[in-house]
Amino acid sequence: MDMPVGILYGIAFAIALTLALVMTPIVKKLAFAVGAIDKPNYRKVHTRIMPRLGGLAIYIAFVGAVLAVGPFIPEGLLRAYDYDMIRAILVGGTIIVALGALDDRFELSAKVKLVGQIAAACVVVFGFGVKIDLLNIPFGEAMQPIASWISIPITILWIVGVTNAINLIDGLDGLAAGVSGIAIATILIMAAIMGFVPVILLSTILLGGIIGFLVYNFHPAKIFMGDSGALFLGFCLATLSMLGFKQVAIVSFVTPLLIIGVPLSDTFFAIVRRWRSGKPIFAPDKGHLHHCLQELGFGHRRTVLIIWGIAAFFGACAIVQSTFTQSHAANWITFIVIFVLMLCLQIGAEIIGIVDNSRRRRPVLNLLLRNRLKTQAESRSE
């Protein structure tokens, strides 16, 4: 007798949550034993040596839950392509976790990590045929097929870009895990609306692993996820958010961008900031969103909760935007969502100084202020 799908999802979540709760303390001891530790420096907010490698616990929870519930998946529920998709995430994720674990221990160069990330992305694309081959561009009439010579580099660039975006925001206790969890929950809700079973299952499992790890990672953290966790979560987010392109016409071009809006926007502002200051794009600094919020006087936990709230707002926008994609007003809804978010991002960036630490260059705020002063002056003259 086949297990009801709802019960299957619940069991998968419980297994992943339990495995993460059990494995994280074990991985913590392993990190100290092998020397995978994070020492304080001028860029970091922690003041004592911390174990890294926490992503290994999330990975074990994810793989363990997938293997545990695999034999109980009702026959006919998943198609051949769905199994290829699951295998792609497992194999590519294993490469990413191995790469991140080596970096947690030996601090690999940026070039070596980039090559490893491209290799994992190539496994997904060439090994299992998972790639973006349908695109719904705002104000387009329908899903448009794109040629392989375009879809393959776009897919690889998407996976590598999102993988690194999550890694860049991993600067405070629970920040990257929480933002990733919110993004995964967004994907889960959208997949449930669409009835996309494989993404529901994988998102449920990954969310269980993240929540279990957050028990030890929220401030004050007992362990960091390290590159093994940030890269793995970024890889999973990139792959899961991309899958709608191939299977479901309701997903538009901007929806995956909204799902991971916080890490992508932080990465974009970091690139602009470093380019303007003449620094290498990959050079670390203390100008990220969480650094700016702390400079404004917010404490560690409050800063993390604020960014979680921003991530949740992006997720809600993604759900609203995708829900109305098939309506007659879909193009205008997409345009309005993009415009409002871009305006909010620009104003927020000017307020906190994420691009200009001196906060002297505020074109939008200055324009709004001039208009307000002009309106006040006109009202006085009347």
Q: Which structure tokens are listed for 116?
A: 């490893």
Q: Does the N-terminal peptide bond of residue 220 adopt cis geometry, omega within 30 degrees of 0?
A: yes
Does 371 carry a binding-site annotation? no
The answer to whether 180 and 210 are in contact (CB under 8 A) is yes
Distances from the Cα of 363 to the Cα of 207, 349, 379, angstroms: 40, 11, 24
Domain ranges of the chain: 5-381
Asked if residue 167 belongs to a known ligand binding site, the reply is: yes
The whole-angstrom separation of Cα 151 and Cα 134 is 9
* Residue 252: φ, ψ to 5°: -100, 175
Mean pLDDT for back-to-back runs of 10 residues, the chain (382 residues)? 80 97 97 88 66 95 95 83 88 96 92 94 90 58 63 89 84 88 91 87 96 94 93 92 53 64 76 73 66 76 88 84 60 69 73 61 65 60 60
- How does pLDDT run across 312-362, given as a tens digit for each residue? 988 888 887 777 655 555 556 666 777 777 777 777 766 666 666 555 666
pLDDT at 140: 47
Q: Is the pTM of this model over 0.85?
A: no
Count CA atoms within 13 Å of residue 160 on its CB side.
20
